[in-house]
Amino acid sequence: MGRAETVSESMAARTRLARLPALRHWVALPLVFAVLIVAAGLTMRSVPAFTDADFSVDAALSHGHMPPLTVIALSINVVFSPAAGVVMIAGICLFLLLVRRSPVNAVATGLVAAGSWVSSELFKLVVARNRPVSTAVFDSLTPEPGTDSFPSGHTALAVALVIALFLLARGTRWQWPVLVLGAAVAVTVALSRVYLGVHYPTDVAASFLTSLTGASFITGLWNKYGLAVLARLPFLARLGPVPAPRPTAY
């Protein structure tokens, strides 16, 4: 009996993310949030007073650069870059798939992390806000010109990873350490982007909202179609348990 319970617990852990916490109206509400975020971004882009207030923070920080903080900020610039983000998400998914033998958790975690992160790119395209002018600050550390300032992709990646890892740890003794440490990392990444002068404060603040909005849509999408799609990939069952899809009522 003890062995049966152990096997059952192992199966439950390896299919922990078969169903994710999600909004009841997982299409309509994220769409409303997205419209509001875009409206805020276009307002920030179009009203000079907002941009001037934003830029004053970047300009003030550029006068207070210190070598230790600069090293940390530049390191974060690399660690949370797009290429590194792909590697991190792929590494987490492969670990869950090949080591933990948990295809459901691997796919769900990767989908939430990647979907939440990539959603920020859609906002960048629509808002098309210019980055802070590097030549206008006192000490430009890593100039990044372009119209992809709102929101911050680095910050959105950090938030997306926190969301995905928290969902993975949810219900275990690790959930609060993951949430607290993850939140601290995400805030640090956000501050580093303003410190480097490559984003406005409102850009990094919006990144938290865009990733959460993306995640709120992705979790609903997963609950409705995830297991049904996995059932069409029989090779995954060789790597770990894949529950049969269940009808979902909304």
Provide the token pair at 8.
């059952």
Confidence of residue 250 (pLDDT cuts 50, 70, 90): very low
Q: Is the pLDDT of residue 227 over 80?
A: yes
Does the global pTM surpass 0.95?
no
Give the C-alpha separation, 91 to 68, whole Å.
Answer: 29
- pLDDT the model gives residue 46: 93
Give the Cβ contact number of residue 130 at 10 Å.
14
- pLDDT the model gives residue 247: 62
Domain ranges of the chain: 26-231
DSSP string, 98-147: IIS--HHHHHHHHHHHHHHHHHHHHHHHHH-PPPP-GGGSSS-SS---SS
Tell me the per-residue pLDDT of 5-52, one tens digit each, with 9 for 90 and over: 455 667 788 899 999 999 999 999 999 999 999 999 999 999 999 999
- pLDDT the model gives residue 76: 96
Sequence-distant (6+) residues with CB within 8 A of 216 are 22, 23, 26, 29, 30, 33
